């Protein structure tokens, strides 16, 4: 799975992957910033999933947005890159599972992922967006792993 297989110059392949880094990192910086400005709203969004006790939800409402911002920056700057990638992948996995669980339990939630900007989205749109982001993250993970293998 190297760029040579597709007759692409290594530079072009690198640039394309960097673009994916920037897009995904940018999405998380944006999503994190939206939530960071209104932690009270985010805390009540988390509470709507009825998975965590209120106090923990509040603590997460203050912490998670910053985690997203810092990890998004890690992706953009390629600094602490793999750490950022793993944390973000774990976050999206958890968000997706929580969304599915809420739907199964018949809860009426606003995702809270993009703050109240996403409140008008339907369930399929939410899941599709989460899966798309997850796919991008996993692709970046595999690419990073492949690069490390090639370097060794």
Partner 1 sequence: MRAQIFVFALSIVICAKAQAELKWEQTTIELHPTPADKQAIGHFKYQNTGDKSVHFKSVRTSCGCTAAQTQKDEVPPGDKGEITATFNIGDRTGTQVKTVTVETDDPASTTSVLTLKAVIPQQLAITPTFVFWQQGEAPNRKTIGVSAAKDFPVKHLKVASSSPDFEAKVSEAGNGQFKISVQPKDTKQPIAATLTIQPEGSPKTFYATARVTTAPAINSR
Partner 2 sequence: MKSALVCQTLVLAALALVPGIGEALYFHDKISWRSSIPASEMVSVEQARAWGDSAIWVDARPDEDFAHDHVPGAFSLNEDRWNALLPQFLAAWSPSKKVVVYCSSLNCNASREVARRLRDEAQLKNVFVLEGGWEEWLKKK
* Site residues (vs partner 2, CB under 8 A): 36, 39-40, 43-44, 47, 54-55, 58-59, 62-63, 65-67, 69-71, 74, 80-84, 86-87, 148
Would you say 60 or 138 has its CB closer to partner 1?
Answer: 138
Q: Is 3 in the site for partner 1 (CB under 8 A)?
A: yes
Subset of residues 86 to 125 that bind partner 1, contact rule: CB under 8 A = 119-125
Q: Which of 14, 20, 51, 100 binds partner 1 (CB under 8 A)?
A: 20
8 binds, among partner 1, partner 2, none (CB under 5 to 8 A by kind): partner 1
Would you say 88 or 136 has its CB closer to partner 1?
Answer: 136
52 binds, among partner 2, partner 1, none (CB under 5 to 8 A by kind): none
Hunting for tokens 């996993």 — which residue is that? Answer: 138
Would you say 10 or 83 has its CB closer to partner 2?
Answer: 83
Would you say 36 or 127 has its CB closer to partner 2?
Answer: 36
Question: Cβ distance 78 to 33 under 8 Å?
Answer: no
Q: DSSP per residue over the chain, as a string?
A: --GGGGT--HHHHHHHHHHHHHHHHHHHHHHHHHHHH-HHHHHHHHHHT-SS-HHHHHHHHHHHHHHHHHHHHHHHHTSSHHHHHHHHHHHHHHHHHHHHHHHHTT------EEEETTTT--HHHHHHHHHHHHHHHHHHHHHHHHHHHHH-
């Amino acid at each position: 799975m190297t760029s040579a297989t597709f007759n692409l110059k290594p530079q072009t392949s690198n640039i394309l992957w960097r673009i994916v880094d920037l897009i995904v990192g940018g999405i998380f910086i944006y999503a994190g910033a939206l939530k960071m400005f209104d932690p009270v709203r985010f805390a009540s969004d988390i509470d709507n999933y009825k998975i965590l006790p209120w106090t923990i939800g509040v603590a997460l409402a203050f912490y998670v947005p910053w985690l997203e911002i810092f990890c998004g920056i890690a992706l953009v700057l390629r600094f602490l890159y793999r750490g950022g990638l793993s944390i973000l992948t774990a976050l999206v996995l958890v968000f997706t599972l929580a969304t599915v669980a809420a739907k199964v339990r018949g809860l009426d939630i606003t995702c809270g992922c993009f703050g109240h900007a996403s409140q008008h989205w339907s369930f399929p749109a939410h899941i599709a967006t989460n899966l798309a982001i997850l796919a991008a993250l996993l692709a970046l993970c595999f690419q990073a792993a492949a690069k490390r293998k090639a370097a060794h």
